[in-house]
Amino acid sequence: MAKNVAIAGVTGAVGQEFIKILEQRDFPVKSIKMLASARSVGKTQKFKGKDYPVEELTESSFTGVEIALFSAGAARSRQFASAAVKAGAVVIDNSSAFRMDPDIPLVVPEVNPEDIKKHNGIIANPNCSTIIANVPIWPLHKANPIKRMVVSTYQAVSGAGQAGMTELFNQAREILDGKNPTMKKFKYQIAFNIFSHDSAIGPNGYNEEEIKMVKETRKIFHCPDMAITCTCIRIPVPRCHCESINLEFKDSMTPDEVRKLLEHAPGVSLIDDRANNRFPMPIDAADNDDVYVGRIRQDESLPDNKGINLWVSGDQIRKGAALNAIQIAEKLL
């Protein structure tokens, strides 16, 4: 049954991805509203060959809307999501505004689709790094409970939106032309450099991105005591996050068992060619739905074959944001 859809934050990187994926997956759209800040009013947005005016996001934007896809930032989600719900829409929110609210489901459809039905008008989309990690480790956790997870992320600049990608490209040109790089979006030079993820550091020394991954994974897996630690790093890649994941299981687990579990796992593709040293790269994951997994090997520092190392790459604008939200919408149908 076709739905009346609104996209809040349509001019941003994720908003643009929403449009692309709605078209590609032929989501049943009866009508669509393109919503953004006042500065975008006057622009048009094409959807299925037709131009739609970009309207200002306000509390009165949601009359008749049934599904509202939000990617306009946490502040705007807090400001406008309740108005959308009051108008009768189900909000699928891509920001951090509602993720840790105990009354709001936080969903990765390959992991906990049953939580969708618990919504009271708002469903939260997890952080991109969380989604990319959760998709491949969930089938392993179901088969053999994970006791401890150690994650190091290598995050593309598009995680900071279009401005992040623009800054990387501009700085690369400046440096290659012998000029000093201009820093606007990031505090430090990103071209030909890496640095700790550009989110606030808490009193415990962890940044917000690392804390999100820990808390969100525990909530999605319904494992409040799972031992998880993270290190999140920003790298000079336009699109797609990579993650090194070390897992300690309750019982023994071999690389062959892992491959067998992941070969047919939803949302997962394997690239694990040891002979050619060929494993997942951002260029594999870009514009693709799946999370790519490889470098599957035993952690030989743990006894009884209870440890496994993985390397994953996923498109954080697509599966890490827009696609995950639209998959939730498809489940709502």
Active site residues: 128, 241
Burial of residue 300 (number of CB atoms within 10 Å: 0-12, 13-18, 19+) = exposed
Rg of the chain over all Cα atoms, to the nearest angstrom: 20
Question: What's phi and psi for 327, nearest 5 deg?
Answer: -60, -35
Q: Which residues, including other chains, have CB under 8 Å from residue 157's CB and lie 6 or more apart?
A: 164, 165, 167, 168, 186, 190, 234, 235, 236, 237, 238
Sign of the Cα torsion 94, 99, 104, 109 reads positive
Half-sphere exposure (Cβ direction) of 309: Cα atoms closer than 13 Å: 10
Burial of residue 116 (number of CB atoms within 10 Å: 0-12, 13-18, 19+) = middle
Q: Which amino acid is at 281?
A: M
Per DSSP, what are the bridge partners of residue 234? Answer: 155, 195
